[in-house]
Amino acid sequence: MAKNQFDLTGKVVLITGGTRGLGLAMARGFAEAGAALIISSRKAEACEAVAEELRAKGARAVGIACHVGYWEQVEKLAEAGWAAFGRIDVLVNNAGLSPLAPSSLETSEALFDKVMEVNFKGPFRLTSLIGARMAAGEGGSIINVSSTGALSPQPNIIPYAGAKAALNAASVGFAREYGPKVRVNVISPGGFLTDVATEWKDSPTVTERVALKRFGEAEEIVSTALYLASDASSYTTAANIRVDGGAPP
């Protein structure tokens, strides 16, 4: 029964930032669960490469390039994504940007704006476009990928933490706006060993603070994503699920 609950056969998933790291792991997991995939990231060739990989494994998949920091591109993604399969059942706002700032005083306006655009502005607009259409139709599930950094901000990521905190707040509002047909939830990952984990992956002081005493592997995000995407979470909305190995708050 539990296995059937996680089945996504016949469902269409649009995932941003789906060509590497946690997004790629989730895309592969959704495909294995039977979903059709719309893979998006900034580079068209990367989107097509992942789509081709999934098609080679028997999944239906297309790649659509989009820089989520620009609303015009986000609006084109929403239209093209919906047209690709005639529906979108699951939206995963996973694309993100987390550059370290030298200090708050030295944070440039350009860096601040870029972090806000990718981590909050884009997901806000895409959720609005897809969520409203889901609510007017057969419903769906929206998963916003945030960060434990928004729950316990450190000095060198304050703009990033602020953008993700805004995404957390917006997710609750969207759950209320688009419910009862649409569920909107948040995943807050902690430290994962992906290609962007260059600043801290070799730091024993970081893992020492985590209950499981290690970083996560990208595939370990998949079960939470499947739960929120599928009927297994039919009574879960406006939730924020931490997947961080027991990092301190």
- CATH code for the domain of 228: 3.40.50.720
Residue 111 lies inside a defined structural domain of this protein? yes
Domain that holds residue 175: 2-240
pLDDT tens profile 196-217: 655 555 666 678 889 999 999 9
Pairwise CA distance, residues 107 & 180, whole Å: 41
pLDDT tens profile 30-46: 999 999 999 999 999 99
Pairwise CA distance, residues 106 & 119, whole Å: 20
- CA distances (Å), origin 193, targets 32, 37, 203, 215: 22, 24, 12, 6
pLDDT over 90 for what percent of the chain?
87
Would you list the DSSP string of 4-60? HHT--TT-EEEEETTTSHHHHHHHHHHHHTT-EEEEE-S-HHHHHHHHHHHHHTT--
Residue 247 lies inside a defined structural domain of this protein? no
Residue 101 lies inside a defined structural domain of this protein? yes
pLDDT along the chain (249 residues), means of 10: 79 98 97 98 98 98 98 98 98 94 93 97 98 98 97 93 98 98 97 72 74 94 98 97 91
* End-to-end CA, the chain: 34
Contact 210, 191 (CB under 8 A): yes
Provide the number of structural domains found in the chain: 1
Indicate which residues carry an active-site annotation: 160
